[in-house]
Amino acid sequence: MGRLRGTFKLLFFVGIPLIPLFVFWFFPMLVSLWLSFTNWDYISPSFDYVGIDNYTNTLTSETFYEALKNTIFFSVWTIVPTIIIGLFLALLLKEGLKGLTFFRSILFSPWITPMVAMSIVWSWIFQADVGLINQILGWFHLPQPQWLTDSDTAMWAIIIVTVWKNAGWAMLFYADSLSKIPNDLYEVSDIEGASWLQKIKTIVIPLVSPITLFLVIISAIDAIQAYDQIQVMTQGGPAGSTRTLLYLYYQMAFEQFNMGQATALATIIVLITGVLALSMFYASKKWVHY
């Protein structure tokens, strides 16, 4: 009797919070998975089952591999600078810059600004003729790229905005992690005459490694899901040079109305994300010290 009531209680307290999870996450995912085996066009009420056609089409299409390449490029070049700049800023703050809280909030403010708003401002900054960046480059007589309208530079522009937004956020995590490193570890290395770089290598990097892992995984997921900045600044162009997997999904679903193909791509994205996160977690055993 008591046991039954216990089970009921458990179901009640665990079950109720799970309901939204089911309704808004699990259920749509199942529907999406189901749609990926159909040729639904988003509008007509009828559709046919097409088996794994959508998957084979996707996995054999050039656009998919182009987008995959773009996604990997974008991810690597946002994650690595975000981590390095974040750690560097945190180290600067730790050295006790004057006006600490002021700096911290300035650096953190991009993170709380909506990506859409930021992207709009940045697309002005990146304008080829009147944009701020090219103005500055002009003063120094440096080349002034076409940024958003040149397929060689458009992805870099998107990357710069994304790093700009995320670095302050990474800094906050690192600042907290750095403040937890006991001071006497630095003193031990002072007595031995370790240089600044040696201290970074032997103390800081290993001791913030759990935060680094966390940031890498979150930033990777964030990079795979990047949408706002691409939509506002380049819409995947020019010539598909900023079309990531997620943006490709959006175009398939809401520009070409090819829901079956799009949901198949979505499933592949989820799989890639999962495999990536898992493998990072696994690989981390070698370099993360808890």
Partner 1 sequence: MTKIKLQHVSKQYTKESDKVIHDFNLDIDDKEFIVFVGPSGCGKSTTLRMIAGLESITGGELWMDDQLVNHVPSKDRDIAMVFQNYALFPHLTVFDNIAFGLKIRKVKKAIIKEKVEQTAGILGLTPYLKRKPKDLSGGQKQRVALGRAVVRDANIFLMDEPLSNLDAKLRVQMREEIIRLHKTLGTTTIYVTHDQTEAMTMATRIVVLKDGHIQQIGTPTEIYKNPNNMFVASFIGAPAMNFIHAKVVNNQLMTSEGKEIAPLARPIDHQGKVILGIRPESVVLATENDGLAMDVEFVEMMGADLHVHGKLEQSKIIIRLNPDVMVKENDRIYLRFPHEKIHLFDPNNEESLYQSEGMTAWVD
The structure tokens 């808890």 sit at 290
Q: Do the beta carbons of residue 63 and residue 248 sit within 8 Å?
A: yes
Quick note: the x/- pattern for partner 1 over 189-218, rule CB under 8 A, is xxxxxx---x---xx--xx-x---------
Among 185, 218, 276, 277, binds partner 1 (CB under 8 A): 185
How is residue 155 written in tokens? Answer: 């992805």
The answer to whether residue 63 forms part of the interface with partner 1 (CB under 8 A) is no
Contact between 170 and 88 under an 8 Å Cβ cutoff? The reply is no
Question: What is the number of other CB atoms lying within 10 angstroms of the CB of residue 172?
Answer: 17
Mark 271-290 with x for binding to partner 1 (rule: CB under 8 A) and - for no binding: ------------------x-
d(CA 229, CA 227): 6
Q: Is 129 in the site for partner 1 (CB under 8 A)?
A: no
Q: Residue 188, interface with partner 1 (CB under 8 A)?
A: yes
3-state secondary structure of 49: strand
**Closest CB to partner 1 among 46 and 195?**
195
Least Å from the CB of residue 182 to partner 1: 7
Structure tokens at 3: 């046991």
Q: Is 114 exposed, middle or buried, given 0-12, 13-18 or 19+ CB atoms closer than 10 A?
A: exposed
Minimum distance, C-beta of residue 94 to partner 1, in the bound complex (Å):
17
Segments of 77-129 assigned E as strands: none
Q: Measured from the CB of residue 117, what is the shortest distance to partner 1 in angstroms?
A: 41
Q: Work out whether 179 is an interface residue with partner 1 (CB under 8 A).
A: no
Q: Which residues bind partner 1 (CB under 8 A)?
A: 182, 184-185, 187-194, 198, 202-203, 206-207, 209, 289
